């Protein structure tokens, strides 16, 4: 199981833009004028567009500087995020419930940088249910679909199990999540807990859509139905 984070598991309380502004200022000494759209994209993609939009070339050096600053600024904002944000309804309970089923192995597939992802799930007390080393993150590839295969490889290296496409499920709240799972050839579950409705997620190709995470048993039954 590969979970998206933002608006699938957590609501960060609107701290993302201010943190990005601080990070940009820290990395380059200038103000952030424009930020690329975030929804369902990888951080490599977001950083490249953001740098160009602010008159900077997305060189390896510039990208690395911004990535370091983002991680540092998120680390410094733990208390702010905890005060303003929240786990989405049922998220913590669902992760805990599914963690009790030995057939299910939970990690992350997110556009966030790995350390930013770690901070977010730690702040909202979700990390203990997830094997973060088996996930895939925004610095791994520009293409979100490629993250699926990276996560499968990492999970196999850790567990010795072969996670074929039929044994891999991507869970997210945006059409980009849905398309990434389809392109990678894995099972996909849409969660209509973000800005996209259930109909929009189905329109993007999701066969399975749930409204939220408040019914863990319903989600587990759906996941188990995918098992060979």
The string of pLDDT tens digits covering residues 110-157 is 999 999 999 999 999 999 999 999 999 989 988 889 999 999 999 999
- Inter-CA distances, 107 with 57, 76, 121, 126, Å: 33, 24, 11, 11
Q: Which residues pair with 10 in a beta bridge?
A: 6, 87
Listed by start position, the domains of the chain span 2-12+86-226, 16-81
Residues in CB range of 18: below 8 A, 6 or more apart: none
CATH of region 2-12+86-226, choose from 3.90.1150.10, 1.10.540.10, 3.30.565.10, 3.40.50.1000: 3.40.50.1000
What confidence tens digit (pLDDT) does each residue in 152-185 have?
999 999 999 999 999 999 999 999 999 999 999 9
Q: Is 111 left (phi over 0), alpha (psi -120 to 50) or beta?
A: alpha
Q: What's residue 39's pLDDT?
A: 65
Q: Quick check: 195 and 39 in contact, CB under 8 A?
A: yes
Please give the model's pTM, rounded to 2 decimal places.
0.93
Helices vs. strands in the chain: H and E counts, helices first: 10, 7
């Amino acid at each position: 199981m590969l979970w998206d984070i933002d608006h699938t598991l957590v609501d960060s309380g609107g701290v993302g833009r201010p943190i990005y502004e601080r990070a940009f200022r820290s990395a380059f000494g200038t103000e952030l004028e424009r930020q690329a759209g975030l929804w369902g994209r990888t951080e490599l993609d977001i950083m490249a567009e953001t740098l160009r939009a602010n008159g900077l070339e997305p060189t390896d050096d510039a990208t690395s500087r911004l990535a370091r600053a983002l991680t540092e600024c998120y680390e410094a904002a733990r208390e702010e995020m905890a005060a303003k944000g929240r786990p989405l309804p049922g998220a913590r309970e669902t992760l805990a419930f599914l963690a009790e089923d030995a057939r299910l192995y939970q990690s992350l597939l997110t556009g966030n940088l790995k350390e930013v992802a770690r901070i977010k799930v730690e702040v909202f007390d979700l990390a203990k249910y997830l094997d973060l080393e088996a996930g895939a993150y925004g610095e791994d590839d520009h293409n979100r679909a490629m993250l699926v295969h990276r996560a499968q490889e990492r999970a196999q290296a850790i567990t010795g199990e072969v996670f074929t496409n039929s044994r891999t499920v991507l869970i997210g709240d945006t059409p980009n999540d849905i398309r990434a799972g389809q392109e990678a050839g894995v099972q996909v579950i849409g969660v209509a807990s973000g800005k996209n409705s259930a109909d929009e997620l189905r329109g993007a190709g999701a066969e399975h859509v749930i409204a939220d995470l408040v019914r863990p048993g319903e989600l587990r039954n759906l996941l188990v139905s995918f098992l060979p």
